[in-house]
Amino acid sequence: ESSSANSATISKPFGIPLVSPISRDDSITRADIQRTIGKMLSPLEKVGSLTPSRLASNTSVPESEAASDPSEDANASGTGSKFAALDSMDEDPSDSKIAGTLELPLQLVTENNERIDLSTKKESTIKLSSSSASICVFLDWSDKLLEKYETHYLTNSPEVFKYVPATKKARTEPLSLYTCLEAFLREEPLVPEDMWYCPQCKERRQASKKLDLWRLPEVLVIHLKRFSYSRSMKHKLETFVNFPIHDLDLTNYVAHKSSSKRQLYELYALSNHYGGMGSGHYTAHIKLPDENRWYNFDDSHISPINEEDVKSAAAYVLFYRRVKGEDVTASNGEHSYVGHNNILTQK
């Protein structure tokens, strides 16, 4: 990674991006950019190693690139590093300090790919292009400068946000709501660490447990499992669950059938969750029976949606009501649901 006046610049990726906002509304000087970059690098300074002396050397060495990204109210500048060999910078003892801080050998890259030395004429105003979404500032990493900063922190990009652990493969194939119900009601053997305590025998016995539905309510609320916990790991489950909007048939899931009528339900509302474990956003889809039309509720914004757009992988809580004319005597509406845990012992 070397360069001279007669050789071309060689570069390769280096480090991670460092981002800082820069306002385009006010005039900005070269000293302002120096202070901004210095602030971003200050957490990497080695204790007691920096002195107010010029650290630029005549040796061509790796450099870091500072790039800015726009935000809603202010444009951002940051450092996204690259290895690049630069021509040696002139030594000038008079330019050793900027507002009492260490001067960094910085060069601003213009839209025409020209470089402006930011270590001279520090009070000169820099005109930032209003059409460009970002600016780039190159930092010439001399050998001395590399000794003053803990640059190993730039080698690995930190995990800012992720839905699932990298070692765990997320489920991609969709599931039906009926499959989820069958798994929920399936008999489950108890592990030896969680054996059932028999009140008759006064000892723990090997057993299995099972949940049965004895009767169904007028309004049925189904809460889908969207969050998973495994020791210290937590992640969001993004599996698409295909749930029926009309004619959810639960006839075969009732343990003790007292009537031959079918247990049919219709979806009338659901809540959605977008995001992950740390943060997220809730919306709701609700059907107005008088209009026979679905609406999306997103904070204060309400808009009509098509029925086919109601289903998504963000569905979190489903609200069903019994279809009128179907076995309404099975429940008087006093209970939201009734289940029963059967413990089956094994000798």
Pairwise CA distance, residues 109 & 84, whole Å = 13
User: And the tokens for 44?
Assistant: 């990497």
Pairwise CA distance, residues 108 & 210, whole Å = 69
CB 174 within 8 Å of CB 239 = yes
What is the rounded radius of gyration, in angstroms, for the C-alpha atoms of the chain?
32
Q: What is the DSSP track for 90-102?
A: PP-GGGSEETTEE
Cα dihedral 106, 110, 113, 115 sign: negative
Amino acid occupying residue 167: T
Strand order in the sheet with 207-215: 188-189, 207-215, 338-345
Count other Cβ atoms within 10 Å, centred on residue 30.
Answer: 21
pTM flag (> 0.85): no
The pLDDT score that the predictor gives to residue 205 is: 85
What are the structural domain ranges in the chain?
Answer: 11-154, 175-345
CATH number, domain 175-345: 3.90.70.10
User: And the tokens for 277?
Assistant: 């474990």
The pLDDT score that the predictor gives to residue 228 is: 82
**Strands 241-242 vs 175-176: parallel, antiparallel or unpaired:** parallel
Pairwise CA distance, residues 135 & 68, whole Å = 5
The pLDDT score that the predictor gives to residue 318 is: 97
46 alpha-carbon distance from chain centroid: 32
The pLDDT score that the predictor gives to residue 149 is: 79
DSSP state for residue 24 in the 8-state scheme: S
The pLDDT score that the predictor gives to residue 140 is: 75
> Which residues in 32-59 are b (16+ Cβ under 10 Å) and which e?
bbbebbbebbeeeeeeeeeeeebbbbee
Closest CA to 213 of 248, 251, 253: 253
Count other Cβ atoms within 10 Å, centred on residue 86.
Answer: 21
Give average pLDDT by consecutive 10-residue segment, the chain, 347 residues: 42 60 71 82 73 41 40 36 33 38 72 75 70 71 78 62 45 84 88 83 86 89 88 82 94 79 93 86 94 94 94 95 64 38 43
Closest CA to 65 of 100, 14, 122: 14
